[in-house]
Structure 1
């Protein structure tokens, strides 16, 4: 069986550098055999990829891509702490969507993160999930994603 690092390479996915915290917290913490990531925003090369509310300034498909970016940043935080090949399975995904009034498509937006995890980890990427609509997110981001993964 290929390692997760090899799987990422097969998919042409390169993990970004760990995003610098925007406040007083760690990108990821390990306790026992679990790693918990802090909420990750859609940073690309150190810059927030978009701002605005989903269902208004940001369309659902664009937001789905930002959720994918957030998940990549969360995987980078895991990798920075324990190495991606230590992942046994993805346990939980929590996603927050800055939602315009009346927008109820949060689950579809968070599919961007969930689908990426499935591509990378296959069956080990199946997870429990919460998709929550919120009024605002840090720095005006449209989406934020955090992960809990089991590690060896």
Structure 2
């Protein structure tokens, strides 16, 4: 068993099936020593478990959980391109948060994804990041996360 697979098991996490694209793109692509994931929604068993705006119908706590699911989906997409043990570093994470008017805690939401990446990859999970508030996301998802990973 790979080290990352063992760590996922230790954390009680299982990589999901990679979500089928909802438009004309691929879930992840490798270019040289980097893998870029497409934006990952918090799909669970092929469906979006919650829709709406964070700070409105979706609580901050639930949005953080959804960001974790997005990150787990991004790890699964990353794993379609390389063995996860070949990840040198998660370089950059971009999190998009569908925000109700006046909601300004986007960084707290995206911490869900960032902290999960740190638990899974350790020091290699430390990354640069953007947390962006938006009016709406595909399928009315509350959160979307993409990442860039350096790989061997």
TM range (shorter): over 0.9
Residue 37 of structure 1 corresponds to 37
Q: What is the aligned partner in structure 1 of residue 28 from structure 2? A: 28
Q: 1:6 Cα deviation (Å)?
A: 1.6
TM-score, normalisation: structure 2: 0.97
Deviation for aligned residue 1:84: 1.5
Distance, in Å, in 2 between the alignment partners of 1:57 and 1:83 is 38
Q: How many residue pairs are counted as aligned between the two chains?
A: 151
CA shift for structure 1 position 5: 1.6
Unaligned runs of 5+ in 1: none
Shift of 1:81: 1.9
Deviations 1:33-88, CA, capped at 9 Å, x for gaps:
00000000010000011100000000111000000000000000001221222211
Quick one: distance in 1 between partners of 2:44 and 2:11?
19
Three-state SS of the structure 1 residue aligned to 2:52 is: coil
1:31 is displaced (CA, Å) by: 0.3
Aligned to 1:124: 124
TM-align CA RMSD: 0.9
Give structure 1 regions of 4+ aligned residues with deviation exceeding 6 angstroms.
none
Structure 2 gap segments, 5+ residues each: none
**Corresponding residue number in structure 2 for 1:4:** 4
Give, in whole Å, the separation in 2 of the partners of 1:44 and 1:139: 14
Q: Give the 3-state SS of the residue equivalent to 1:48 in structure 2.
A: coil
**Residue pairs, 1:1-152, within 5 angstroms:** 3-152=3-152
Work out the CA distance in 2 between the residues paired with 1:9 and 1:150. Answer: 23
Partners of 2:57 and 2:17 lie apart in 1 by 28
Cα separation, 2, equivalents of 1:73 and 1:20: 11
* Partners of 1:15 and 1:76 in 2: CA distance: 6
